[in-house]
Structure formats: structure tokens, C-alpha cells
Amino acid sequence: MIQLSFVFFFSFTALFTLRRLAKRVGLVDLPNLRKHHDGEVPLVGGIAVFITIAQFIYNNIGLMPHAHLYLTIIAILTTIGALDDKFDISYKFRLLVQTLLTISMIYFTDFQLNFVGDILGVGNLEFGFLSPLVTILAVIGAINAFNMVDGIDGLLGGLSIVTFLSLALVLTMASQHDLAYMCIVIVVAITPYVAFNMGWLGKTRRIFMGDAGSMMIGFTVIWLLLVSSQMKGGPIIRPVTGLWIIGLPLMDMAAVMFRRIKRKRSPFRPDRDHLHHICLRLGFGRYKSLFLICGISAVFASIGILGEYLNVPEPLMFFGFLTTFAIYNYVLTANWPHRKEDIEERNLISSSAK
């Protein structure tokens, strides 16, 4: 408990200190066509959380396998994310960096997506020589799934907390107490950020996570999932369980990208068609949207946890996931009524992107 208290206050202090430095160096988020917040908001949440996690792992190096490589990778991701927050780096360069880092992870650790279990009822499905390619796609997908959900105050922090608490629970069930404790540490490190981000300490002290934080969190999630589901001696948790635990960010990313491609647009072009945008258009408000989306994510994660605990057949879990995604995609791609300002904003974004 004392150790977790130290993590909390270290993160709080880092956030409080870095927010002042951010304004001096111009690492702030400004309102624009897609961002409707007030004033300059420091983009140092991710940097503070990274520093907190890094110092903890450095002083407890045995809690996570290949900890030094993990720290090196998240340091690079955090740096690239901070540069993107400051200078708006091309998404192609970000994808290249993410690809190279994934290759280094595979080379130095042999962590890769080798199999997905008996999801079709015909035996364990293995990727064979395609495993490195599938792993690269999975890592990039996870990183960008958490990046894309960062759309309203508290959402990335809330979804991250749901994800890491769910991982901690299933890892505890599997008697992997070190990895479970690492997940709790990450939750504690994120909690002060949520307080700043939500404005609970005053609206003038608000902080955003930035791409630095969302990319680091996404990579950490997929790293832990690979460690726990791809062990050659037998997986700690089944791969399909991990699919449910990060279900909502994955579904939201896939549905939005499908919608963009259907409209003959780049899947990486920003818009206002994510689940949180739809909730706001339907009049839920920011707090109701936040709790609704985090609640849905918690339900998805709970299905995965119960499926793991009760040993529900993997084909049932997998096809249940596909059915849920089909329903989610239909709901998200429905012709929801758009406010006049949203339509005008989308037209402006489209025109400026040409």
C-alpha cells in the first residue's frame, strides 16, 4: 500500500510540475475545428504517466519480463507522441516507428501472436510464418485503438483503468501476481491524470494525455496481452479473453475506419463519427457519454473475464464477439442525425484536408 501511495503522489507531482513547463515550451492543445475545449491545455499527461511507470519498473525490474526493452520502447513512443503533439507529425512516420519498434520486440523477446486458440472449433489456430506480420498489425491496431478513443474528457483514462483492472483480475485468477500488480500500478499512475483531465482540481489545471500517452498505453496493453496469452509453455489467459477486454476500443476503431473507407476517404483522416461523438449528438452530455462508454467497455471486459473463469468454449466467445461487433458497427454506421454545426465542421475539415 505504501508503494502504491508513492506511485500516486509521484504521478500527481509529475503532472503538477510538467503542466507549468508545457506552457513555457508550447506543448499545449489549442481549440480548432474538431476540438472545442477552452484555452490552452497542456499535453503532458502521457509524459507524466510514462515517467511514473518508468521509475517504478526501474526500481522493481523483476515484475515485468524484458523490462529494459519495454522501457526503451515506451520511451521512444512517448517521445514520438510528444513531438506529434507539438509539431503534428505525419501518420505515415508514426506507423513506420510503430512497425520498427514491434519488429525489435519480436526480435529481442520472441513475443508475437503465434496462435489465437480454438476459436473456430477445429483446434488451435496458428499463424506460422505469418506470425510476425500479424503481430505488427495487432500492435499497431492496439496503439491506434487507444489513440482514437481519446475524444472527450476522462474517456482515455476511464477506458484505460477498465482495461488494466480487467487484466489485473484475470492475471490474479491465473496466479500471475507480479503482472497483476503491475497493472494496478499503472491504474494508480493514471488516476491523478483523470482528476486533472476532468477538471476536478480546477478547470485552469486541466491536462490532456496527448498522443504520447495514448500510444504508450496502447502498446502497454498489447505487450501485457502478448505476454499472458502467447506463452509457449501454455497461455496464462486465452487470446479470445484479451479480445473482449479491449473490445470497445477495437470495435470503435474498426467501425470508424470501415465507415471512412466506405466513404472513399483515408481511414486515418480525423472526423466526428466515433461513439463519443454520436453520444454527444444524441444529447447525452459529456459526463453521461463518459460513463455510458466506460460502462459498455466494462460489460465487454466482464464477458471476457467470466468466459475465462467459467471456461466458456472459445468458439462461443469468438462468435459472440463477432456478433457484438456486427451490431456495434451497424449502430455506429447508422445515419444518426447530425447537428448543423457538425455538418459545417465536417465540410471544413474535408476541405482543409484536400
Higher pLDDT, 133 or 330: 133
Q: How many CB atoms lie within 10 A of CB 253?
A: 20
pTM equals 0.91
Question: In this predicted model, which residue has the larger pLDDT, 317 or 25?
Answer: 317
Q: Going along 152-283, which residue ranges are E strands?
A: none
Helix 91-109 and helix 210-229: axis angle, to 10°? Answer: 30
In Å, what is the CA distance from 262 to each residue of 24, 145, 173, 259, 275? 43, 19, 42, 5, 17
Beta strands in the chain (DSSP E): 28-29, 41-42, 115-117, 125-126
Report the mean per-residue pLDDT for the chain. Answer: 88
- Per-residue HEC secondary structure of 263-330 comes to CCCCCCCCCCCCHHHHHHHCCCHHHHHHHHHHHHHHHHHHHHHHHHHCCCCHHHHHHHHHHHHHHHHH
Diameter of the chain by CA atoms?
A: 59
User: Residue 1: pLDDT band by 50, 70, 90 thresholds?
Assistant: confident
- The number of distinct structural domains making up the chain is 1
Question: Using one digit for the tens of pLDDT, what is the confidence trace for 176-216?
Answer: 999 999 999 999 999 999 999 998 888 888 999 999 999 99
Q: What is the mean pLDDT of residues 335-350?
A: 50
Residue 150: which pLDDT band, with cuts at 50, 70 and 90?
Answer: confident
User: DSSP letter string over 111-180?
Assistant: ----EEESTTSSS-EE-GGGHHHHHHHHHHHHHHHHHHT--STTHHHHHHHHHHHHHHHHHHHTT-HHHH
What average pLDDT score do residues 68-83 get?
Answer: 96
State which residues form the domain around 100. 2-353
- Do 142 and 218 touch, CB atoms closer than 8 A? yes
As a whole number of angstroms, the distance between CA 257 and CA 251 comes to 10
Average of per-residue pLDDT across 292-311:
96
Does residue 347 have a pLDDT over 70? no
Asked whether residue 162 carries a pLDDT value surpassing 50, the answer given is: yes
Quick check: 35 pLDDT over 60? no
pLDDT above 70 as % of the chain: 91
Residue type, 100: L
Of residues 354, 346, 309, the one with CA closest to residue 33: 346
pLDDT at 283: 84
pLDDT-derived band at 278 (thresholds 50, 70, 90) equals: confident
Mean pLDDT throughout 296-320?
A: 97
At residue 352 the predicted structure's pLDDT band, cuts being 50, 70 and 90, is very low
What pLDDT score was predicted for residue 349?
A: 47
Position 354 scores a pLDDT of 40
Residues across the chain? 354
Question: 353 pLDDT band (50/70/90 cuts)?
Answer: very low
Task: Give the N- to C-terminal CA distance of the chain in Å, as an integer.
Answer: 54
Point out the least confidently predicted range of 192-206, 250-264, 332-346: 332-346
